[in-house]
A and B are shown apart, each in its own frame.
Chain A
């Protein structure tokens, strides 16, 4: 069953769309969730949740699933998948220190929902009325591509018609110290959809999901995908040690060099940037790689330029 990307949302400092992301050379300013979502209901939400809500609102709007604040599709058939490794680390650490300093009397009960790592995924579901499977993927460097993989799995198994896949990471003093440098403080989102749903609602295809591998060897995974792809790969997205393992004759994009630590947001931001590239003239498939041989595993995914599904039963 072919899976299509029918929406892209971007929430990075100075980049609000796939086109801006593909063209960006450095972060500018910061994402202001209140300016996008309005102040109502944001007060006690942590930064990661606010960034996730911005990316989700943009992607649902871009996909035509949200119109004037109303969902245009059956919310019970929409899955939500969020990838974030650092999301609520600040809440856990801060609360533990407050207890040591002041006892539990010093705590605010408003922190309680943020103590659970799935707060980003559940708040997106609540705000937009999405009742399908709701999954929080906190899976290390490959987590963003893993979230896309599980989104496609939920569509292929018939558990959803659309999957909203979000990758976000917040920046703050605590996570900076943990990862040893600045964090992107933003993210991106995709809407994945199966062919029947694309055809039924006349959605615009932004990209087609191609092959996927997950394993211990970046170079081997890339070769497997390149060999299995009908047309030649035209470039790759990878950061750090993974970039060194990929063919230097192809154009490579290291997004962490631009945005800082992307961690669990990486794979989703790569996909959004690749789609921005399709809009700017990239005319062949590209390979996204998250995680490296230094990590517990790496994931790779081919993204193809848009091609609408054929109408009729052959589309499945």
Chain B
């Protein structure tokens, strides 16, 4: 399959649209800062990659994730020429934490909140007149899982155009439980570095507009084409990843795409910076790619965006499309000494690299051992 991607949108700590984010990424400018919505006295760690949209420091409000999502979907729809009426367009949203942050504020502080806003359909309906929207809560691979289902819809002829998005705002429960077991919170997120100390969460949302190959709709910009997505489940451990099924997701993506590892020019890592994720991810990639593992340039966005959970996969995909459009590759900032398992990889270090990319592979892995890998080609 070769499904045209005709619109993109994104928001993150380092930019309010896809271009701003990409400019920051290429400049090596990260979004880590003192946390703005949670009480510093209650935590060991006090830094996060947040979007700065709270009324004032230390004061939180409900429905921030919903706002990020509406921004990203609105940008993607506009750039694809779809306008603000999406009544005929399914919208598939991948998220790790839904509006659970709002539920926390409701229960703890008495903030106004109802069950109709735990999922994103209500807000999408109000803003875009949608009636076929789906909130998938698939942890940190959620938006790539949604991408697979959106692509399948087009392939099965169930729609002409779909919007696939991802979104998350940090919940205090998820941050707090991670903080509980980190006596020394990481000062930076250092993907693939021997001295990586763990991940740091971030806010973010991203969206793409996908079309059927034979559908003549609004023009938009042809950003690239989706070739295939693989999905697997470790079925082994609630939080620790399993190399076998991570590798299988990569193989499955290539089977769907009809491509081989040697065809890949760019790998966008999941790269959370946790000791285990990076080890398993590098090993699975090396296992599948074999002697071709030194071919693609390898990078990731999380050292600068933080781990934006369910939105991370589509945010990485949008970044891959921008690499294709510009030839610029954002670096893995903070990477000083790569782990042994990444020896021989063409890791992008310190400065942006100029590189022509025609085929990219994007990783997303999540709690529950759910793995998704997408392959996308340049226009």
Contacts and interface: CB of A to CB of B under 8 A. Distances in A.
Interface string B146-162: 00110011011010000
A286 to B, nearest CB: 23
Contacts of B137: 116-118, 136-138
B368 A92 contact: no
A216 interface: yes
Interface in A170-195: 174, 178-179
12 contacts: A91-B173, A116-B96, A116-B97, A116-B367, A133-B148, A134-B370, A135-B136, A135-B138, A138-B118, A153-B156, A159-B231, A295-B122
Contacts of A159: 152, 231
B212 to A, nearest CB: 14
A215 to B, nearest CB: 5
B130 interface: yes
Interface string B95-122: 0111010011111100000111011011
Contacts of B272: none
Nearest to B239: A113
A188 to B, nearest CB: 20
B103 to A, nearest CB: 5
B366 interface: yes
Contacts of A92: 97, 100, 103-104, 171, 173
B106 A178 contact: yes
B133 interface: yes
Given A99-B42, A107-B180, A109-B180, A129 B368 contact: no
Q: Which 3 A-B pairs have the closest CB atoms?
A: A122-B368, A296-B121, A93-B107
B134 A139 contact: yes
Contact of B133 (A75, A93, A156, A297): A297
Contact of A174 (B107, B134, B235, B369): B107
Contacts of A134: 138, 231, 233, 235, 368-370
A133 B145 contact: yes
B180 A297 contact: no
Main SS at interface, chain A = helix
A116 B368 contact: yes
A299 to B, nearest CB: 9
Contacts of A136: 136-138
B233 A118 contact: no
A267 interface: no
Contact of A115 (B116, B136, B174): B174
A157 interface: yes
Interface string B40-80: 01111000000000000000000000000000000000000
Interface of A: 75-76, 80, 85-86, 88-89, 91-97, 99-100, 103-105, 107, 109, 111-113, 115-119, 121-123, 125-126, 128-140, 143, 146, 150, 153-154, 156-157, 159, 174, 178-179, 214-216, 263, 295-297
A116 B174 contact: yes
Contacts of B100: 88-89, 92, 117
B367 A118 contact: yes
Contacts of A296: 116, 119, 121-122, 124-125, 130-131, 133
A135 B145 contact: yes
A96 B174 contact: no
A60 B233 CA distance: 18
Contacts of B87: 216
A126 B119 contact: no
Contacts of A143: 119
Given A118-B139, A128-B235, 20 more contacts: A93-B107, A96-B108, A96-B173, A99-B176, A113-B368, A116-B137, A131-B233, A131-B235, A134-B235, A134-B369, A137-B134, A138-B119, A138-B135, A139-B119, A139-B133, A154-B152, A263-B115, A296-B119, A296-B124, A297-B130
Contact of B171 (A115, A128, A140): A115
Interface in B266-295: none
A86 B138 contact: no
A130 B138 CA distance: 16
A112 B177 contact: yes
A157 B152 contact: yes
B341 interface: no
Nearest to A75: B235
Contacts of A88: 100
Contacts of B158: 153
Contact of B116 (A119, A137, A140, A150): A140
Contacts of B152: 153-154, 156-157, 159
A169 B231 CA distance: 26
B115 to A, nearest CB: 5
